Amino acid sequence: MGTGRMDSFEREDAGAGGPSPGNAPVRDSVPEHLPRQTRQTAQPWSPSEPGSPEPGSPEPGSPAGSGSSSGPGHRLQPAGPPQAPAPLGRPGDEGPLGDGDSGSRGRGIAGLSLPYQVAAALSLALIGALACVHLGMVFLHVAPSNTVTKQHGEAVDWWVYPEFEQNWKLFAPNPLQQNVAVQVRAEYTAADGSRRSTDWIDLSAEDGAAIQGSLLPSHVHQNMLRRAWDFYVTSHDGDNRPNGVRGQLSERYVRRIAVARLMERDLGGPVERIQLRSATSAVDPPGWSDEKIEVKPVHRVLPWWTITAADLPEDAARDRAEAER
């Protein structure tokens, strides 16, 4: 029985080209000449089947004393770079190049289902068409008078005003060299029932003081009142008569701004009427210039406007309605 088992090991050894595992010396520890950090603690050996080699014995075909403990038929392999884990995905998914990569599906619109692709394409087409129309309308608005603007000027104005109005005076050959201040005064009902008027209140000066020295000035303080007054001037003639619908819109706009500013003050009673005016003065020339200019301001006074509930802020209009009941 023992002889047959030894013959079997010898035949296996002859086929592997090395000594028989049974004749190799048993080593239960790493040789002393190896680095200390590679030495391992010998583990108790218990054969799983008769004739299995002990741990630490050399593998068939390997030099004696190599310290291999991987078992018969295994050899030491050089350590290589760690392999990346396989990408997650469902079997059959193909990447954007169609190479069957389950972890690289199409992205963007290509990764959507067909209905969503159609909806996304239609949305992009609509946005592009609106952008082209808007650019065309703004171009016609700022361009010199031509055949298109003469025939479709109302449509262009309807699209541009008041949100997209363009003001190119800063880049004109002769830019503005004036300071325009918007002022207001109010007529209110006092506690005794009499009508009283306030002095002129310089709203532009208040806006200038609010942004003076501010690192983040408010866009409202800088542009709302100034643009409202410029809108009014360009939509009215010299006698303050409106030029169509834009003129009426500019009146309501500047009136509501002035009323909202007055509501922040305690005038002594509810505001019944207001009056606006502008004070235009030339910018002082630099010290090295010999130019002589007129420094006296020129006023443009508007008529009195009666204040209605539509001109008041929502809360103030509700309070006035309750007070009149």
- pLDDT tens string 143-186: 888 888 888 888 998 888 777 877 665 555 556 678 899 999 99
Into how many domains does the chain fold? 2
Q: Are 254 and 231 in contact (CB under 8 A)?
A: yes
What pTM does this model have? 0.50
Same domain, 183 and 143: no
Q: Is residue 38 part of a domain?
A: no
- Dig out the tokens for 255 from the structure: 């009136």
Q: Is residue 225 part of a domain?
A: yes
3-state secondary structure of 298: strand
Same domain, 252 and 145: no
Q: Choose among 264, 285, 211, 276: nearest CA to 240.
A: 276
Burial zone of 35 (CB within 10 Å; 0-12 exposed, 13-18 middle, 19+ buried): exposed
pLDDT at 95: 46
pLDDT at 186: 95
Binned at pLDDT 50, 70 and 90, residue 66 comes out as very low
Same domain, 140 and 206: no
Mean pLDDT of 284-301: 84
Mean pLDDT of 205-209: 91
Residues listed for the chain: 325
CA 230 remoteness from chain centre: 32
Q: Is residue 263 part of a domain?
A: yes
Same domain, 238 and 151: no
Same domain, 196 and 307: yes
Same domain, 134 and 219: no
Region class of 92: left (phi > 0), else alpha (psi between -120 and 50), else beta: left
Same domain, 243 and 305: yes
Q: Choose among 212, 202, 213: nearest CA to 258.
A: 202
Distances (CA, A) of 198 to 73, 224, 242, 261, 265: 108, 23, 27, 14, 11
Rounded Cα–Cα distance for residues 281 and 297 (Å): 4
Listed range (183-192, 195-204, 237-246) with the worst mean pLDDT: 237-246
Q: Are 293 and 282 in contact (CB under 8 A)?
A: yes
Same domain, 276 and 237: yes
Alpha-carbon dihedral 142, 143, 146, 150, rounded to 10 degrees = -10
Domain around 145:
114-160
Same domain, 144 and 187: no
